[in-house]
Amino acid sequence: MDTQQQQQQSAIQGAKVLMVGAGGIGCELLKTLALSGFHDIHIIDMDTIEVSNLNRQFLFRRSHVGQSKAKVARDAVLRFRPHINIRSYHANVKNPEFDVDFFKQFDVVLNGLDNLDARRHVNRLCLAADVPLVESGTTGFLGQVTVHVKGKTECYECQTKPTPKTYPVCTITSTPTKFVHCIVWAKELLFAKLFGDKNQDNDLNVRANKAASSSKETEDVFERAEDEDIEQYGRKIYDHVFGYNIEAALSNEETWKNRRRPRPIYSKDVLPESLSQKNGSTQNCSATSVDDSATVSAMPLLGLKNPQELWGLTQNSLVFIEALKLFFAKRKKEIGHLTFDKDDQLAVEFVTAAANIRAESFGIPLHSLFEAKGIAGNIVHAVATTNAIVAGLIVIEAIKVLKKDADKYRMTYCLEHPSRKMLLMPVEPFEPNPSCYVCSKTPLVLEINTQKSKLRDLVDKIVKAKLGMNLPLIMHGASLLYEVGDDLDDIMVANYNSNLEKSLSELPSPVINGSILTVEDLQQELSCKINVKHREEFDEEKEPEGMVLSGWTQSPATKGESASTSNNESAVEVTESSSGPEIASKKRKLSETQPENHKRETENVESEDDDDLMEIENPMTVSKKKRVA
């Protein structure tokens, strides 16, 4: 072994590595690290093993279902590399114990995450700790690995990330034309209203005129009386959302002049008089378990076995009622706190059935549960080979980082189709973006109506949603306006909560035109300045949040769709899967090497079962960036 090889082996064996994520990429990565000679590896992952993971996450077996991914992955690798040190953490990387000091102990951090929020969090901790980060992701046959070293290459947030598509609420609630509109309605409105926060406002409470004549009918239809039969309650909900609300929509003749009129659907026209006699009691469902709510399913009760089978209106209606009954019979304690989870079988069944019934009403083709789950969960099915290739590329870049071979760092893209006879396309990394508010401390500009907008709007829509801060602190000069933390006393918490409900100009230290706010996240050790610019009016369609942040940028929305990511009533977010662009090599401009049929932008997507989210940059943006010399 020559001197160079000895130095490399020494760097590998002496390195302390942090892996974040033990899913599709993580399993392959841990195996490759162990076989490459790494002796000290730490793994963080908050997930447990699902049956659907087993076809590609090869460190797991059926007997491991329900156990910690990080722990099982560790145990599996130690069986063939017992002499190395692997420590697992079954936890969220955003937990307080994983702070800057924790990150400082590592020589390199390797990401195999599945969401933008966690990626941004790890990026900021790596910057604060001055630890190199190797980022990765896969989407089907596409993959990428990028290197981020503070002060030398761009950070993960230097470039814009694709944003979710949004649809106007009026389209979702009144005039759906695509099945995805029905899925968003079922998931974000109906499921949330029934099983989430009952007090949330949405248009599902609209009733037909004939139903509103009775004082009894004007009560909240979603409230279930203590002694109300579950099946009758389910039928009431069914008739309300698929019957009365459709009739109410039809009363506006102007809306349907140039559109296909929907058909109201009532349970009495589709379902038998009593389901309990036909299907048996929910109490006797062998597929249910109070201790394992994710396995509760309506399909066995109805004799439905194939998730790829297309259900008709009657089958969807039966699934709708039975799924609702099971939520109340088996998971009653969760009602009021539930959010949709694509790994929750009963939630997927309910959303699929509701979306299909609505699709039937509006003349939209129905979809199988398998297809609906893919749309609802933004799923692109994972490919084990891509994960293995990307894991190998991560280790290659990690070794370069440990050897400090900065001139050899590469961002490598795994392509679905050959470009210039290559499926792996290396690109030189780029310099930090001087306009990046994360690593370059560039001030942001916020246009907002300081007299009408509350501090809560600023916190929710800007600080948390756009800047990605988890534990924000907001200061105006020497005045502390808002803070989050476990160490606050009751008086401080009450004061900050009171500030949230005040308009910016009414705060103890008034925020007006020309004010400069300092916003920090102490956990991420991130701080930025926001210059406030008062503005009276905003375009409700183009600027539905009632405020505009400059300096923080996002990818342009797809033509015809809103770019807003607000949580108000003007738009509902949904992410649709698409393939990523192919990136050209470092020797030529990307625009010169991109075949026209390969120029595609990637939305934020999730690979199957939350493996590895991939966000490939817009090739035209990449081509304009300055490479590291």
Confirm or deny that 504 is annotated as ligand binding.
no
User: 374: annotated binding-site residue?
Assistant: no
Is 400 within any annotated ligand binding site?
no
Tell me whether residue 494 is annotated as binding.
no
Q: How far apart are CA 422 and CA 424, in angstroms?
A: 6
Residue 469 falls in which region: left (phi positive, over 0), alpha (psi -120 to 50) or beta: beta
CA–CA gap between residue 327 and residue 329 (Å, rounded): 6
414 labeled part of a ligand binding site: no
Q: Please name the helix (run of DSSP H) or strand (run of DSSP E) that holds residue 511, with its range, or none.
A: none
- 555/577 Cα distance (integer angstroms): 16
Beta strand 165-168 with 444-448 is unpaired
Q: Are 366 and 360 in contact (CB under 8 A)?
A: yes
CA distance 629 to 622: 16
Is 182 catalytic? The answer is no
378 is in an annotated binding site: no
Q: Which of 211, 212, 210, 188 is nearest to 200 (CA)?
A: 188
117 is in an annotated binding site: yes
Determine the residue type at 232. Answer: Q
Residue 377 counted as an annotated binding residue = no
Is position 285 annotated in a ligand binding site?
no
Q: Is there a binding annotation on residue 611?
A: no
Helix, coil or strand: residue 567: coil
Helices 313-330 and 230-239 sit at what angle, rounded to 10 degrees? 130
* Whole-number Cα distances in Å, 44 to 136, 144, 411, 442: 16, 21, 24, 32
Strand order in the sheet with 40-44: 85-89, 40-44, 16-20, 108-111, 133-139, 142-148, 411-419, 422-427
* 70 annotated ligand-binding residue: no
149 and 628 Cβ atoms separated by less than 8 Å: no
56 labeled part of a ligand binding site: yes
The tokens for 470 are 């988890």
Q: What's the Cα-to-Cα distance from 511 to each of 153, 471, 483, 508, 538, rounded to whole Å?
A: 36, 21, 16, 9, 19
Distance CA 112, CA 134 (A): 9
- Check whether 568 is labelled as a binding-site residue: no
Annotation-wise, does 356 bind a ligand?
Answer: no
Cα separation, 550 vs 563, whole angstroms: 14
Among 170, 182, 285, 414, the active-site one is 170
Residues in contact with 281: Cβ distance below 8 Å, sequence separation at least 6, in sequence order: none
31 is in an annotated binding site: no
In terms of C-beta density within 10 A (0-12 exposed, 13-18 middle, 19 or more buried), how is residue 325 classed? buried
Which position has the token pair 């469902």?
285
- Residue 85 assigned ligand-binding role: no
What is the spatial distance between Cα 191 and Cα 539, in angstroms, rounded to a whole number? Answer: 30
Query: Is 258 assigned to a binding site?
Result: no
> Two tokens at 33?
């690290």
Q: Which helix (H) or strand (E) holds 369?
A: helix 369-376
Residue 114 marked in a binding site? yes
Is 53 annotated to bind a ligand? Reply is: yes
CA angle 50, 81, 386 (to 5 degrees): 50
Q: Is 119 annotated as a binding residue?
A: yes
Residues in the chain: 629
* Angle ∠(359,364,368) on CA atoms, nearest 5: 70
Residue 143 known to bind ligand: no
Provide the greatest CA pair distance for the chain.
90
Q: Is 528 annotated as a binding residue?
A: no
Give the annotated binding-site residues. 21-26, 45, 53-56, 69, 114-119, 155, 158, 436, 439
Point out the residues that are catalytic.
Answer: 170
Enumerate the known binding-site residues for ATP: 21-26, 45, 53-56, 69, 114-119
- Which residues are known binding-site members for Zn(2+)? 155, 158, 436, 439
